[in-house]
Amino acid sequence: MNSPNHSLLRTQSRPGRTVVLLLFLALGLFVAGIFRPFTAVTKLWVFENEVSVFNGLVTLWGEGDAFLFLILLVFTVVFPLIKISALLVLWLKPGLGRDDSQRLFRFVSHLGKWSMLDVFIVAILVLTIRSKGVANIRVQDGLFLFFSSVMLTQIAAVWTGRIAAHTVEEKS
């Protein structure tokens, strides 16, 4: 996929700079999205509570709900971080051979198939909150930041796949 002593970024510098920039931007948006409120919930027109992924994790842990805590942690924090990190390694690590690059990209592709689960989890959390009584839920900036991170990561992954396929075809 690339020369033994060079990173993919060095051998594919023009598109690579854009993809790496997208990935670092996705990482920043991801971190911000985890800590910023996803929703603001108003119950009975008086009580308002802002909910972020981080606050949700702290609440689940504090309430002893280990199962939901682990699901939320793994699918909304760990998987996206691993996907972004693996793509950055693919682009930035010098000496990553063709077979290792292809294996790493396949891993990222398989990991991406689990991405819809975090959307499902957020939907379940919203439905759970709604079912606890009269509530008004407003989307906050954390959701948009998180969504933007997921979309940029997906764009970077697709672009990486196309470049990788093109590079392998050139060398064959």
Q: Is the pLDDT of residue 171 over 60?
A: no
Mean pLDDT of the chain: 78
Residue 53 has pLDDT above 90, yes or no: no
Domains and their CATH numbers in the chain: 8-171 (1.20.140)
Confidence class for position 32, pLDDT limits 50, 70, 90: very high
In angstroms, the CA 77 to CA 24 distance is: 16
pTM of this structure: 0.78
Q: Are 76 and 55 in contact (CB under 8 A)?
A: no
- Helix runs in 36-78, H state only: 53-62, 66-73
Q: What pLDDT score does 158 carry?
A: 87
Residue 64 DSSP one-character state: T
Residue 60: both structure tokens together = 């689940």
pLDDT of 115 reads 64
More confident residue, 134 or 66: 66
Kindly state the average pLDDT of the residues 128-149.
74
Q: Distances in Å between the alpha carbon of 171 and those of 1, 56, 94, 158? A: 8, 48, 18, 20
Query: In the predicted model, is pLDDT for residue 142 greater than 60?
Result: yes
Joined together, the tokens standing for residue 11 give 């051998």
Distances, alpha carbon 106 to alpha carbons 83, 110, 159, in Å: 11, 6, 14
Q: Which tokens is 163 given?
A: 């470049």
Cβ atoms of residues 47 and 135 within 8 Å? no
Above 50 in pLDDT, residue 172?
A: no
